[in-house]
Structure formats: structure tokens, C-alpha cells
């Protein structure tokens, strides 16, 4: 997918106005307001890691402060777009992680402990096995709550979120795909997965309705199909937004609190996941 540079997106949220209209708990609203517009994270503060398995997937990781005792922490997994492909374990953080590091800023300013990881892929594609390998490795390195693992990604990474959720819908507490696409087939298993989908109505790369014009369709069509089968995805479409709406989307004050409120009823064992293509588990138990 031909990503446009995130820095070209010039529209900026009026954070004060947004927060004034939201009914958030006071401590969350105050923390997010303090974080608005602030960039507290330097790339060098994220650890450079490679998975210990044969895939040897590069990823960057940071644990934000605030952990109490032996508390297990939520994990946010960010999947980049194709212009950040490679194996240097650096390009995926370009453009402030395409805005995804704003979630880390919010956590730091709010003293909210979490683990954020940003893996890197090649060939403009996110194989679900590659995503699972990073989660499995991170679970062995950081104090992660396996019931609170969240996937988010932009462009090709957004499509990677869809593919990974379709493969193991019972294992991820929520998904936040942005400017991505997927096939309409196979949506039923993820109808109950909490989703917040973002896309620009004037996307000049991945059409919001038709994707690339093949079997894979854009976010508007995906959301419509999910709602038709009983799903309740949240959907934000920017009327004037083109492809790189990610800084805008990751600045949404309610996004991080919404993510952290999601969890699966029973944690998956990422060391023994069924292979992609295996029939998914049904009747998922989730706490919203």
C-alpha cells in the first residue's frame, strides 16, 4: 500500500474543545488535556528488540511508568505501513510512529502504565504469524496482561490488524485499524471484537469504500457489513481526510481510555496458537 507521509496531514484537533464536550472521568480528561500537543517520547527511549524465534522479527518497545507492585499491564501493538518496511528496527518509528506514539505520550502524562511495541515487517504485508511472534516475545519480556492486548495499525498495518483479528479473534481485546482494507468474507468471527475504525472520506490511496477495487474493500464497507451481522464497531470518518489521517486519529482523546477498558474473558496461550486458517473459537466472552 502506497503510504503518504504522515507529516503531510495538517489538520489539527482542537483538544480543548473536544475535551470540554466529552464526559470523561476528571483524572483522564486532565491527563489527556496535558498531553495534547506534547511529544514526550524520543526514539532512543524505545528498546530495540528482536524476537527470539526463527522469524527474528525486529520491534521497538517501551513500558510507561506508573506500575504498582506486580500489576500486569496492557499491551498496545502498532503495525506500520509499507514505506516503513525493512529490517533496520528504526523506520517504523518515523513520523512519531505515524502518530501512534501519541498514545504513549498520553499514558506518560497520565501516569498510566502500559507496554507499547512497534514491530517491523517486509514486502508490504503483515502475516498474522509475524504479529503473534512479537506478542509472544513481548509476553516473555514485559509484565503484560494477556487479557488486554490491543492491535492498531495504519494503511498496510490497518489491513494487518484486520487479517490478524480474523485469524485469532479470541486473542485480542480490541482493534483500531486506520486507512486499511480487508475482504468482506470472514468478518463474522470478529463481529464481537471491540473495534474503532478510522478512515478519510477522500483517501487517495485506499478508497474508503472500494479499497483497491478488488476483493478487499475499504473501512466504510467493512463497518457496514459488520453492523449488518450484529457487530457494533465504532467508526470515525474524516470528511476531508485523505490517506494519512493517523496523527489526527491517534490524537482522539477518548481513544486510549476506550482501549484500556477492553479485555477478553479468557487469555490465549500465544505459545500454542492454532495455525492461520484454523476454525476460530465462537461464543467469545468479553468485558467491555
According to DSSP, the β-strands at 286-287 and 181-183 are: unpaired
Q: Is residue 111 a contact partner of residue 36, using CB atoms and an 8 Å limit?
A: no
Q: How far is CA 48 from CA 87, 139, 152, 243, in A?
A: 12, 15, 20, 29
Residue-range domain boundaries for the chain:
11-182+193-267
In CATH, what class is 11-182+193-267? alpha beta
Q: pLDDT by residue for the chain (288 residues), tens digit each?
A: 433 333 332 222 323 333 333 333 443 443 444 444 456 899 999 999 999 999 999 999 999 999 999 999 999 999 999 999 999 999 999 999 999 999 999 999 999 999 999 999 999 999 999 999 999 999 999 999 999 999 999 999 999 999 999 999 999 999 999 999 999 999 999 999 999 999 999 999 999 999 999 999 999 999 999 999 999 999 999 999 999 999 999 999 999 999 999 999 999 999 999 988 654 444 344 544
Question: Phi then psi for 131, rounded to 5 degrees?
Answer: -65, -45
Of 36, 46, 135, residue with least CA distance to 91: 46
Torsion of CA 25, 30, 33, 39, to 10 degrees: -120
Question: What's the pLDDT at 1?
Answer: 44
Q: Which residue bears the cell 503531510?
A: 8
Question: What's the pLDDT at 70?
Answer: 97
C-alpha cell at 264: 477478553
3-state SS track over 117-160: EEECCCCCCCCHHHHHHHHHHHHHHCCEEEEEEEEEEECHHHHH
- Whole-model pTM? 0.85
Question: What's the pLDDT at 197?
Answer: 98
Amino acid at each position: 500500500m502506497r503510504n503518504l507521509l504522515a507529516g503531510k496531514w495538517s489538520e489539527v484537533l482542537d483538544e480543548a474543545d473536544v475535551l470540554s464536550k466529552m464526559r470523561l472521568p476528571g483524572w483522564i480528561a486532565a491527563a489527556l488535556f496535558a498531553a495534547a500537543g506534547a511529544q514526550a517520547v524520543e526514539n532512543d527511549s524505545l528498546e530495540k528488540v528482536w524476537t527470539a524465534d526463527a522469524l527474528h522479527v525486529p520491534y521497538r518497545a517501551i513500558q510507561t511508568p506508573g506500575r504498582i507492585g506486580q500489576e500486569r499491564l496492557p499491551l498496545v501493538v502498532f503495525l506500520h505501513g509499507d514505506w516503513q518496511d525493512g529490517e533496520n528496527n528504526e523506520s517504523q518509528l518515523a513520523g512519531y510512529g505515524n502518530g501512534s506514539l501519541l498514545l504513549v505520550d498520553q499514558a506518560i502524562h497520565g501516569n498510566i502504565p502500559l507496554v507499547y511495541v512497534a514491530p517491523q515487517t517486509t514486502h508490504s504485508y503483515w502475516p498474522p504469524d509475524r504479529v503473534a511472534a512479537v506478542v509472544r516475545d513481548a509476553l516473555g519480556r514485559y509484565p503484560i496482561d494477556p487479557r488486554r492486548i490491543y492491535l492498531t495499525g495504519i494503511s498496510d498495518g490497518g489491513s494487518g490488524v484486520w487479517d490478524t483479528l480474523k485469524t485469532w479473534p479470541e486473542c485480542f481485546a480490541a482493534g483500531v485499524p486506520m486507512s486499511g482494507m480487508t475482504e468482506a468474507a470472514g468478518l463474522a468471527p470478529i463481529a464481537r471484537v471491540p473495534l474503532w475504525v478510522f478512515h478519510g472520506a477522500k483517501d487517495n490511496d485506499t478508497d474508503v469504500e472500494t479499497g483497491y477495487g478488488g476483493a478487499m474493500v475499504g473501512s466504510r464497507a467493512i463497518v457496514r457489513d459488520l453492523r449488518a451481522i450484529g457487530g457494533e464497531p465504532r467508526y470515525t470518518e474524516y470528511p476531508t481526510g485523505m490517506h494519512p489521517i493517523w496523527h489526527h486519529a491517534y490524537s482522539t482523546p477518548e481513544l486510549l481510555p476506550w482501549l484500556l477498558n477492553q479485555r477478553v474473558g479468557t487469555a490465549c496461550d500465544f505459545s500454542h496458537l492454532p495455525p492461520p486458517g484454523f476454525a476460530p473459537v465462537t461464543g467469545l466472552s468479553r468485558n467491555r
